[in-house]
Amino acid sequence: MPQLSNDHKLEIEKVLTRSPLIPVITIDRLADAVPLCTALYEGGLGVLEITLRTEFGVAAIREVREALPDALVGAGSVTSIAQYREVELAGAQFVITPGVTEAVLEFGVTSEAPLLPGISTASELMMGHIHGYRHFKFFPAEVSGGVAALKALAGPFPDVQFCPTGGIQQHTAVDYLTLRNVAAVGGSWLTPSEKVAAKDWAAITEIARASLLDARQQG
């Protein structure tokens, strides 16, 4: 069975330790990609997950990589190997999937960009664990048991670190960050759609800053 290399483990660890908060970004207008990501970056968020939930995801990754060379820019909501290849070509520095398939797990072992596979059960985690994965997205976090579920998973999987996402807010992020098996927390609360629609980039920077402050005080 193909195994994840130590280099891949270190790379994904680097993503999850650079920032305790990872914005989950959905681009509805391509022109928003660079100013939105710049606003988040200026608010202190150095890791940016741009999802493929709209047709602009891949182009946004390409543009943001060029505009913010010091940020870590990755792709989210990747569900197929074709998409994985496409985002790698666009320059994605990491790839996040909402769930796991055997094919994606195997592809992630040899891919250029390291994979953070999404799981919500012990069985899915075990599918990744046997390939050597030790870092997982826990999704959808809140409806899959939230903090209590992650505490329970620490028992059988003491060597695993999580990035929970799904339903987390600024005031609940801290509850996750206090867990020893949570490396970072992701969410779309950092990019409220009404602020993006209004191009209120200053407000986005402020939300990032305030959220980071909360996360660092408690985490």
Closest to ligand 3PG by CB, 165 or 211: 165
Between CA 190 and CA 125, with CA 168 as vertex, the angle to 5 degrees is: 120
Q: Does 165 bind ligand 3PG (CB under 6 A)?
A: yes
Q: Does 187 bind ligand 3PG (CB under 6 A)?
A: yes
From CA 93, how far away is CA 99, in angstroms rounded? 19
From CA 156, how far away is CA 118, in angstroms rounded? 18
Q: Which two tokens stand for residue 158?
A: 């003491």
Among positions 74, 91, 186, 219, the unique one binding ligand 3PG when judged by CB under 6 A: 186
β partners of residue 47 = 72
Closest to ligand 3PG by CB, 35 or 99: 99
Cα dihedral 184/59/97/26 (nearest 10): 60
Under rule CB under 6 A, which residues in 20-59 are in contact with ligand 3PG?
A: 24
Q: Which parts of the chain are beta strand (E)?
A: 21-25, 47-51, 72-76, 95-96, 115-116, 118-119, 135-138, 161-164, 185-187
Q: Does 184 bind ligand 3PG (CB under 6 A)?
A: no
Closest to ligand 3PG by CB, 3 or 192: 192
**Choosing from 11, 13, 14, 49, which is the catalytic residue?**
49
Does 9 qualify as catalytic in the annotation? no
Nearest distance from residue 172's CB to ligand 3PG, in Å?
A: 10
Nearest distance from residue 20's CB to ligand 3PG, in Å?
A: 15
Closest to ligand 3PG by CB, 84 or 139: 139
Q: Does 167 bind ligand 3PG (CB under 6 A)?
A: yes
Nearest to 204 by CA among 213, 193, 217, 191: 191
Q: Which residues bind ligand 3PG (CB under 6 A)?
A: 24, 76-77, 98, 139, 165-168, 186-189
